[in-house]
Chain A
Amino acid sequence: MIWMSILAGVTAGVLLGVFVTLEIPAVIARYVSIALLASFDTLIGGLKSYLKKEFDEWIFVSGFLANSLLAAFISYLGDRLGIELYLAVLLVFGMRIFQNLAELRHALILKLRRVKKNK
């Protein structure tokens, strides 16, 4: 179920993105990409907690919005102040993505092992 849902999300997202011609203004493209980084972290975190059966939709949705908005805002602030604050965002969310991926991997392997044992 979960894999189907993600696959459907990826396919539909890519297809829609390819066919829709909506231009993101160059000024905010930077911030959108930073926000995307944060949102990917939340997605991987969400998947992980789903597999661990700890998923909470409120935590997930609020995290998705808050993280991406904060990430974009911090990099915007950095640009206004002349400090490369977006690097901090990149570093933090980059690290978190790897951490979450590692935990996801652990959860997946444990789950697969359990499935095997049950057979």
Chain B
Amino acid sequence: MTKVSTSKNRKIEAILLGTFVFISMFLLVLLAKNISGIRPIRQNKDALISRIRELEQERAKYKKTIEELNKQIGELERKTASSDRRVKELKRQLDLLREEVGMTAIIGKGVEVTLKDAEVSGGLIEEEQAVVHDSDLRLLVNGLFLGGARAVSINGERITSVSSIRCVGPTILVNSKRISSPFVVKAIGDPESLIDGLYEEPTLNYYITQLFPEIGIGFSVKKKDDIRIPAYKGNLSFSKNLVRVAK
């Protein structure tokens, strides 16, 4: 079995060993380089997060500008309305429509519904179940409108006909703004019929009476006399295609 090596054989063997060392080292260095090449993805992630923060700040700034400009528009409208009767009539209609679509803040009687993520104690309920989902909020908002709500907001975000409530990863976006638990849903309308609306919808009824208590999601309704719902701050225009279809 054992081979006795001559000195010439020894030389060839040494070179053979060296060659394979070469191949292995080559691959090793290539791999090491590759792995350090993968790392930038994480750096990229941090960069993306800070970019998101930056853009959110920028958006807040622009929203303020929009508010200011809207104020100016209102003032100009008032000025022109005082001079012409026809303009005055148009302005009245415009104000009505604005209120209808949610471009004005509303104060009035209503209810305040609070939804809170369950506290996970590591029991039978999984974390995924224990949080408030976007679908829960959608159901709730629909229930409130069913009860005749004139205006609804979630954590200060006005719900309009173009609003969306959707989840992206662990957060919920309302009007493209990130919100988190506790979710305070305010609605203006007759408090009694608003609450009736919540229990009228069968799925929502099941959620409120059985599912939420079971999982431990906090649910409370308060009737209030002075609920203030802010105006919608986003853009209300539909996309061009939609407008064309509507025409």
Interface pair A39/B20, CB less than 8 Å apart = yes
**Residues on the B chain within 8 Å of A32, using CB:** 27, 31
Q: Mark B89-121, 1 if CB is under 8 A from A, else 0.
A: 000000000000000000000000000000000
A-B contact count (CB 8 A): 108
**Chain A positions 44-64 with a Cβ under 8 Å from a chain B Cβ:** 46-47, 50, 53-57, 60-61, 64
Q: Contact: B3 with A54, CB < 8 Å?
A: yes
Instruction: Return A49 CB to nearest CB of chain B, in Å.
Output: 9
A14 touches B27 (CB 8 A): no
Q: Is the interface of B mostly helix, strand, loop or mixed?
A: helix
- Contact call A53/B17, Cβ cutoff below 8 A: no
Q: Which among A13, A55, A64 is the interface contact of B25 at CB below 8 angstroms?
A: A13
Interchain nearest-CB distance for A100 vs B (Å) = 13
Contact in complex: B31, A8 (CB < 8 Å): no
Interface size class of B (residues with CB under 8 A): 20 to 34
Q: Is the interface of A mostly helix, strand, loop or mixed?
A: helix
Q: A33-B31, A50-B10, A55-B17 are in contact. List 16 more A-B contacts (CB 8 A).
A: A5-B14, A5-B18, A6-B17, A9-B18, A9-B20, A10-B21, A12-B26, A13-B21, A13-B24, A13-B26, A23-B37, A24-B31, A36-B24, A46-B20, A56-B3, A60-B20
The chain B residues found within 8 Å of chain A, CB to CB, are 2-5, 10-35, 37-38
Give A contacts to B, CB under 8 Å: 1-2, 4-6, 8-10, 12-14, 16-18, 20, 22-24, 26, 29, 32-33, 36, 39-40, 42-43, 46-47, 50, 53-57, 60-61, 64
